[in-house]
Amino acid sequence: MDYKPNMEDIKKLRTMTGAGLADVKKALTEAEGDFNKAMEIIREKGQAIAAKRSDRETSNGCVLVKAAEGFAAIVALKCETDFVANGADYIKLTQDILDAAVAAKAKSIEEVKGLTIADGTKVEEAVIARSGITGEKMELDGYFFIEGENISVYDHMGKHGLCTMVQLNKSAEEQGHAIAMQVAAMNPVALDEASVPQDVKDTELKVAIEKTKEEQVQKAVEAALKKAGFNLYICENEEHIAEGIAKGNITEAQAEEIRNIKTTVAAEKAANLPEAMIQNIAKGRMAKFFKESCLLNQEFIQDSKMTVTDYLQATDKELTVVTFNRFTLRAE
């Protein structure tokens, strides 16, 4: 049979698959009008593209969040370009996947991949098919869920690039929304100090100690250079020293004196730093870290005179955050 697809068949298959006109015509022709075979051809094309582009970076995509009947979830469908990510069909597919995940109360990304979306297609197959249509690598990522009551969700500026969800211990819709916005804006790493993982605390303390030591050594070096009568800009690095020599601001001998002061004073100061002082300053840095990084300790974005805890307790002394999640594909 010499089958040629008509416009009615083409339109029907495009509606069923979302594929482009040329891909639909080619699939229908190859399948000789058999819609099931044509859909399989389109799906296989998606698999081939996915395999071919498996090493490509998927730094764009669509992030969505939803809460319904005591369950909330965030899901991200990643792709290569923002052109594809902003397409209506792409956003709809992400929403269909999220709807299925929330309805099933899915607990993992693997479980989500095995679900069926509204049109009867398996999630994993739908993603592959969309990859075939767009010609880009796609993958599911960033799946988080919260189960329970009093959950507020937030899609930052409605741009589908950053989503948050927050659970309070009591019903407080206005406060829940405000805290979901807080999480989006301030990117806390934990709920409170006790919730910060020990490895994060250890790393932050190590950084705080090293930074404190570096600052104390630098202060001693700068004080010695000032005392010797040198301009700190010229002393900052070798490039500035060379510039100073070229402009006649310092001599070669003075340049060497600067280098000697920097080396000698730095070594002496580093060897004689008071440990108690270093620890106290590092503890102060850690306190600042907890204030900036723990949600309940953060300054409230709508009123910097109060913390998030203050804001919640102004409504109800017992009101607090149980848990939260945040996901974005943006570089931060």
Residue 299 resides in a domain: no
Kindly state whether residues 83 and 155 are assigned to the same domain: yes
Domain count, the chain: 3
Kindly state whether residues 22 and 107 are assigned to the same domain: no
pLDDT category of residue 56 using cuts at 50, 70 and 90: low
Residue 209 resides in a domain: yes
User: What pLDDT score does 201 carry?
Assistant: 93
- Rounded to an integer, what distance in angstroms lies between the CA atom of residue 162 and that of residue 63? 6
Residue 305 resides in a domain: no
pLDDT at 228 over 80: yes
- Give me the domain span that covers residue 22: 7-52
User: What pLDDT score does 16 carry?
Assistant: 60
Residue 298 resides in a domain: no
SS3 assignment, position 167: strand
- Rounded to an integer, what distance in angstroms lies between the CA atom of residue 28 and that of residue 14? 11
Kindly state whether residues 242 and 285 are assigned to the same domain: yes
Residue 315 resides in a domain: no
pLDDT in tens, 230-288: 999 999 999 999 999 999 999 999 999 999 999 999 999 999 999 999 999 999 999 99
pLDDT at 17 over 80: no
Mean pLDDT for the chain?
Answer: 89
Where does the chain have alpha helices with state H? 7-17, 21-30, 35-52, 82-85, 88-104, 109-113, 123-134, 173-186, 198-227, 232-235, 238-246, 252-271, 275-293, 308-315
Q: Are 59 and 80 in contact (CB under 8 A)?
A: yes
Kindly state whether residues 113 and 155 are assigned to the same domain: yes
- 20 HSE (CA, 13 A, CB side): 9
Q: Are 139 and 60 in contact (CB under 8 A)?
A: no
Kindly state whether residues 219 and 285 are assigned to the same domain: yes
For 136-149, give one letter per residue: b (16+ CB within 10 A) or e.
bbbbbebbbbbeee
pLDDT at 54 over 70: no
Kindly state whether residues 71 and 169 are assigned to the same domain: yes
Q: What CATH code is carried by the domain that includes residue 19?
A: 1.10.8.10
User: What pLDDT score does 131 carry?
Assistant: 84
pLDDT in tens, 85-124: 999 999 999 999 999 999 999 999 999 999 999 989 999 9
Q: What CATH code is carried by the domain that includes residue 70?
A: 3.30.479.20
- Residue 62, classified by CB atoms within 10 Å of its CB into exposed (0-12), middle (13-18) or buried (19+), is buried
Kindly state whether residues 64 and 47 are assigned to the same domain: no
Output the six-digit token pair for 265: 């004073």
Kindly state whether residues 110 and 144 are assigned to the same domain: yes
User: What pLDDT score does 264 carry?
Assistant: 96
Facing residues of 296 across strands?
Answer: none
User: What pLDDT score does 26 carry?
Assistant: 78
